[in-house]
Amino acid sequence: MPLVKDFFIGLSKNQLLNKAAKTYGLKLGAQNVVAGTTIAETIESIKKLNAHGISCTVDNLGEFVFEKEEAIKAKEQILQMIEAIHTEEVDAHISLKPTQLGLDIDYDFCLENLTEIVKKANEYDIFINLDMEDHLHLQPSFDLLDELSKTYDNVGTVIQAYFYRAEDDIEKYKNFRLRIVKGAYKETEEHAYQTKEEIDANFIRLIEWHLQHGKFTSIATHDHHVINHVKRFAKEHNIPNEQYEFQMLYGFRKELQLQLAQEGYNFTTYVPFGNDWYGYFMRRLAERPQNLNLVVKQTFTKKNNVLIGLTAGAFLLGRLTKKK
């Protein structure tokens, strides 16, 4: 399993494949894992989910942002999406990555971009979730959250269960709306648990703790075993449905998403949009390789098998490089 995770993490960072995916996205079946390449397409996808009682959190996809122009472009795209959510009156909020808005360029520059976004969203009563990334960006991202929350209360973040520090972080930010995930980046044993068993156990501990002590808990998982555990735990501890929600990725386990919404649970679909989807998708496979089975039939047909060739080619290239 670690080798499989390393493989997909490596692919997520391959800029050549990322560029190819941008060019041939629809031919590769990208429409099965992203809600649209434009804001208008994405809004229509959101409306379809809303019609089934499903809320959405919208992610403007983007990788390798090291130029201010790119970060500003991403900011403007997110601001336009906020306007569209307000104008179209859809049930949705925003998820964003600080690195897309300039964290790797300059902290203050990133804070300025984030502040503009959070301020605009606050005017429309739209929630902003700061997605967390690898350990190098972890503390700076929490610092941004601390700064933003001094002025605005429509902001929250993500706790990644594989980090040793997650227990301390979830207690510190218990009064925030938090999404709890396992974690999708490659981390060393210096910073994070390495085995599936350790990560899964901490994931459950964090969920249970925040359900009992936190403000609002978003449980991000496709694992029906975890979902059933949470259902039982909430019932046993008299935790009302209003205190939590389940989250899954767009295009994954659609039937289960609908089922949970129909059963009366709060449900939010993580809705990515844009052309820069490749790195995002590879990290989802790294996080849980079983995710590949959930979309392979609908995504990688005989007519759109280019991505299989790309990933297989990258794997072989990596093997050859190592031999040299």
CATH of the domain at 108: 3.20.20.220
Domain match, 23 and 42 both: no
Q: Could you tell me the pTM of the whole model?
A: 0.83
Range of the domain at 314: 1-30+285-324
Domain match, 253 and 321 both: no
Domain match, 11 and 43 both: no
Domain match, 117 and 174 both: yes
Domain match, 250 and 107 both: yes
Given the residues 59, 169, 177, 179, the one annotated as active site: 179
Domain match, 161 and 206 both: yes
Domain match, 170 and 265 both: yes
Domain match, 184 and 149 both: yes
Domain match, 3 and 52 both: no
The CA–CA distances, whole Å, from 259 to 227, 263, 310 equal: 12, 6, 35
179 is annotated as an active-site residue = yes
What integer pLDDT is reported at residue 14 of this predicted model?
58
Q: How far apart are CA 148 and CA 143, in angstroms?
A: 9
What's the burial of 248, exposed, middle or buried (CB within 10 Å: 0-12/13-18/19+)?
A: buried
Domain match, 141 and 199 both: yes
Positions of the chain with pLDDT under 50: 298-306, 308-310, 312-324
pLDDT tens across 203-219, in order?
999 999 999 999 999 99
228 token code pair: 């059933």
Domain match, 46 and 73 both: yes
232 is annotated as an active-site residue = no
Number of compact structural domains in the chain: 2
Domain match, 4 and 44 both: no
What integer pLDDT is reported at residue 313 of this predicted model?
45
Given the residues 59, 131, 169, 276, the one annotated as active site: 131
